Amino acid sequence: RVLPLALALLAAAFTVAATPTGFIAVAPFLVSLRPLVRLVRQHIAVSGRAAVLGPILGAGLLVLVVCFADQTLAGVLEASRIRTEIGPNLSWFQEPMRYEELFSNLPDGALARRFPVLLLLLCLGTTGVVLLRRGRIPGAGLGPSRRLIGTAGISLVLLALTPTKWTHHFGAFASIGAALAALTALATSSSVLRSARNRWWFLSGLLVILAMSSTGPNAPWYVSQYGVPWYDKPPSIHGIQASTLLIVGAALAGLIAVIEGLRHEPGEPPPAAPEPQRRNGRRRALLIGSAPLAVFCGLLVLAEVGAMAKAIVKQRHGYSMGAANFAEITGHSCNLTDAVLVEADRRTGALRPLRATLLADIPLQRGFETNRSPLDQALPTSPPSESNGTADNQGTGSRGDRIPKQGTDGDNPVEKPPTGLGGAEIPIWSSFSPDSPGTGILRSTWYALPAAASQGSAPVVVSVAGRLSPTTPLVAEFARRTERGFNVVDHLQINGRATADGPGWRDYRLGLAGRAAAGADAVRLVATDADVTDDGWLAFSAPRVPVLSSLTDLVAPTPPVFLDWPVGFVHPCVRPFAIRNGIAEIPQYRLLPDKMLANDSKSWSSADAGGPIGWLQILATQQEVPTYLKENWDTDWGKLMVIQPRVPDAEPPVLQTGTAVRMGWWSPGPLRSGGQTAEISQLGR
């Protein structure tokens, strides 16, 4: 009888040590404390304290052998202190933040995360009410029922003790929730809830939580959402929100419950049936009671699996998480690394200019300057006149600096054009003028389109700075060459998703697959600047079709790479930079996640958090390399940065290594974090 207790303690101890969410493993012991104490006392009375408590303590403390197998007490305490200072380290009273995230429109509040939590709460409330009202749940033992309900309730309280408040922590309730759902099926069967009214009320509540869940997007986390339907919005059917249909169903079920309550007066329970009929009726009642839970949960699982299957089909020429997993099972896959393409040099994608003879095909340029960067043309802000305290509106530079100051225009300030843009191969044009409105019109020459663009294996890319608006439009015209000149077959306005926000330089990528432009063999740009406001200027480059190579060939498996969180999950073939004897290997590349996760990624690796960015900024510079997700050219998968050491030929340090035996509480001194000064700890003296 003590062996199950020892095994349970062993599992709980390792669970608590593995993750903060493991605190919920303590819940079964708390709700079973009274019978467990009675059990231990009975065995102590027979076998003695040592024979009973020894194995129990050994099972519970065995985890310490694993924890301190390769680290000391001082190391564990120091690591805990650093994690507490860097954070996130939220208190128990901030637990409502987790539920706020659960009802957000982000992946943390996705349908697949929201429904299980709400279902757990519904089952917990239903079984609790039935148990309190009837004293027990027929078909289930009284003790196990109480302990299961208590375990679920206490686990929700223990979850508040975790220092982070992510919604994926609710996944720890999978086993508890499954058992509680089975108990709820018993509690709502017709043999327990004899009133049809109550069963209809339960169905109405189930539809309500489905409706609440359906108000969130069907958004798997990170790159798993590529190709998934409704990843950015709540599910809908022919324009009708699924939540609306479900709430109507809940209202109808509630109306039926009210009608049932009015039709049948409460009375005595029906007489007991013979034993065989009672047994068959109990099976039938259980089947009916579990039907709503089983049907809706099963449909939701099928819908989620179907959504991932649709993503595999939709992204069959690109990337999907499901296809990458199948590729790993059936062979070898580098996951997302295989689907990312790299443009090593922008100039290799330069297009060949075509000669034109007709007036409509000849380039036109008025108000735009060639190969003049707006940053080079910008003048310092004119100081106010000392005589009247106002700016001189007549002299040169009267419009001041029309480029926002560094740090005032978001994450993408106006800087010099990226490497490879400007010059004869890929010229740039700019309507920026420091002392005039800078209006104008430009019609570029025709450029030959390579087969890669027409076949959809590479996009047409235009780099833009400034503001695109109805008064500063930029249009790409696609045409076929004929004996009479160029026959325009399609117009694509440059707008929509870009690689960065304005007003700095960013790329707009035009995929031609499935468009009329796929049949073209020439392209040109037509721009107009009719905006006379200070920020109404436009700069852009000639179109290019990048020459692409696989990211796998570049970064896997030899070069050391700095993998930001959570990039390492989807780049299994990439080798992280090594740290040996306290010396870090300088990485050659850095992989960052998409914009949504970039801020979280930078926080843990920042200099203030003691991360590698601190020493990397001192030793090297970083330059972004254009990258593309296969067949999804404008999707933000992340970034690839080339790390260039400031001293390329620096000699490696000469190390003197040795071995010393120390006590487990010895420490050479605390690590610095969060800008705090180092102090000698008591353990290190």
Share of the chain above pLDDT 70, in %: 88
Mean pLDDT of 240-259: 92
pTM comes to 0.82
- Considering the domain architecture, whether residues 506 and 556 belong to the same structural domain is answered as no
- Considering the domain architecture, whether residues 492 and 581 belong to the same structural domain is answered as no
Q: Is residue 73 part of a domain?
A: no
The CATH number that applies at residue 567 is: 3.40.190.160
Q: In whole angstroms, give the CA distance from residue 430 to residue 418.
A: 15
pLDDT given for residue 652 in this prediction: 84
Total tally of structural domains belonging to the chain: 3
Q: Is residue 594 part of a domain?
A: yes
Expressed in percent and rounded to 5, the helix, strand and coil fractions of the chain are 45, 15, 40
Chain-centroid distance of CA 511 in Å reads 25
Is the backbone of residue 227 left (phi > 0), alpha (psi -120 to 50) or beta? left
Residue 250 pLDDT class (50, 70, 90 cuts): very high
Beta strand 589-592 pairing with 560-563 = parallel
Nearest to 335 by CA among 97, 640, 550, 26: 550
- Considering the domain architecture, whether residues 539 and 555 belong to the same structural domain is answered as no
pLDDT given for residue 383 in this prediction: 42
pLDDT given for residue 194 in this prediction: 65
Residue 388 pLDDT class (50, 70, 90 cuts): very low
Mean pLDDT of 4-9: 91
pLDDT higher at 199 or 335: 335
197 three-state secondary structure: helix
- Considering the domain architecture, whether residues 622 and 576 belong to the same structural domain is answered as yes
- Considering the domain architecture, whether residues 299 and 368 belong to the same structural domain is answered as no
Q: In whole angstroms, give the CA distance from residue 401 to residue 38.
A: 82
Least confident range from 96-100, 110-114, 137-141, 226-230: namely 137-141
pLDDT given for residue 480 in this prediction: 93
Q: Is the pLDDT of residue 171 over 70?
A: yes
pLDDT given for residue 367 in this prediction: 87
pLDDT given for residue 286 in this prediction: 53
Q: Is residue 240 part of a domain?
A: yes
Nearest to 297 by CA among 210, 174, 198, 404: 210
Q: Is residue 651 part of a domain?
A: no
352 three-state secondary structure: coil
Mean pLDDT of 307-329: 91
Q: How far apart are the first and last CA of the chain?
A: 48
pLDDT given for residue 305 in this prediction: 93
Q: Is the pLDDT of residue 585 over 50?
A: yes
Q: Is the pLDDT of residue 602 over 80?
A: no
- Considering the domain architecture, whether residues 177 and 257 belong to the same structural domain is answered as yes
Residue 385 pLDDT class (50, 70, 90 cuts): very low
Give the residue numbers spanning the domain of 151: 103-265+281-310
Interval 391-434: pLDDT, tens: 333 333 444 345 555 444 446 677 889 999 988 899 999 988 87
Least confident range from 199-203, 373-377, 424-428: namely 373-377
- Considering the domain architecture, whether residues 153 and 300 belong to the same structural domain is answered as yes
Q: Is residue 46 part of a domain?
A: no
Q: Sort 223 into a burial class: Cβ within 10 Å, 0-12 / 13-18 / 19+.
A: buried
pLDDT given for residue 398 in this prediction: 40
pLDDT given for residue 284 in this prediction: 60
Mean pLDDT of 648-671: 87
Residue 259 pLDDT class (50, 70, 90 cuts): confident
φ, ψ for residue 357, nearest 5 deg:
-120, -30
- Considering the domain architecture, whether residues 374 and 357 belong to the same structural domain is answered as yes
Interval 603-638: pLDDT, tens: 778 877 778 888 898 999 999 999 999 989 989 999
Q: Which of 499, 528, 547 is the last residue of a domain?
A: 547
- Considering the domain architecture, whether residues 619 and 476 belong to the same structural domain is answered as no
Q: Is residue 602 part of a domain?
A: yes
Mean pLDDT of 545-558: 90
Tell me the one-letter amino acid at 348. Answer: T
Q: Which of 530, 547, 564 is the last residue of a domain?
A: 547
Mean pLDDT of 261-290: 56
pLDDT given for residue 343 in this prediction: 94
Mean pLDDT of 380-392: 41
Q: In whole angstroms, give the CA distance from residue 631 to residue 455.
A: 11
pLDDT given for residue 489 in this prediction: 93
Q: Is the pLDDT of residue 300 over 50?
A: yes
Q: Is the pLDDT of residue 584 over 50?
A: yes
pLDDT higher at 561 or 536: 561
Q: Which of 255, 289, 310 is the last residue of a domain?
A: 310
Interval 55-78: pLDDT, tens: 999 999 999 999 998 889 999 999
- Considering the domain architecture, whether residues 108 and 193 belong to the same structural domain is answered as yes
pLDDT given for residue 10 in this prediction: 93
Q: Is residue 661 part of a domain?
A: no
pLDDT given for residue 409 in this prediction: 42
Kindly report the average pLDDT of the chain as a whole number.
Answer: 85
Residue 295 pLDDT class (50, 70, 90 cuts): confident
- Considering the domain architecture, whether residues 529 and 589 belong to the same structural domain is answered as no
Share of the chain above pLDDT 90, in %: 46
pLDDT given for residue 154 in this prediction: 94
Mean pLDDT of 350-355: 92
Interval 484-527: pLDDT, tens: 889 999 999 998 889 888 788 999 999 998 899 999 999 999 99
Q: In whole angstroms, give the CA distance from residue 403 to residue 341.
A: 33
Q: Is the pLDDT of residue 20 over 90?
A: no
Two structure tokens written together for 365: 């340029």
Sequence-distant (6+) residues with CB within 8 A of 233 are 217
Mean pLDDT of 429-449: 87
- Considering the domain architecture, whether residues 351 and 476 belong to the same structural domain is answered as yes
Q: Is the pLDDT of residue 646 over 80?
A: yes
pLDDT higher at 40 or 410: 40
Nearest to 130 by CA among 180, 71, 89: 180
The CATH number that applies at residue 405 is: 2.60.120.940
pLDDT given for residue 215 in this prediction: 93
Q: Is residue 499 part of a domain?
A: yes
